[in-house]
Amino acid sequence: MMAVLTGILVLLSMSVVFLSSSINFAGLGNYINLDRNSRNALDHMTINIRQSKQLTSFSSGLLVFQL
């Protein structure tokens, strides 16, 4: 009887660890995708800024370049 109870507790604790690890792994995948998309956007912005000829106006939330 004690062996069965111990086995159930071990299996239950292993399933909780597996479930939490799976959720954390999925969240980490989301952060990786977000980082990849942010780097891609920054690369495109850098290319466009370097190809511009002149900065015509600027403010805290807006840059206007002349191509």
N-terminal to C-terminal alpha carbon distance within the chain = 79
**Mean predicted confidence (pLDDT) in 3-27:** 94
Q: Indicate whether 11 pLDDT > 90.
A: yes
Supply the range of the domain harboring residue 54: 2-66
pLDDT of 67 reads: 83
pLDDT of 43 reads: 96
Q: Which residues pair with 66 in a beta bridge?
A: 54
Number of domains in the chain: 1
- Which pLDDT tens digit goes with each residue over 18-27? 999 999 999 9
- Which pLDDT tens digit goes with each residue over 25-51? 999 999 999 999 999 999 999 999 999
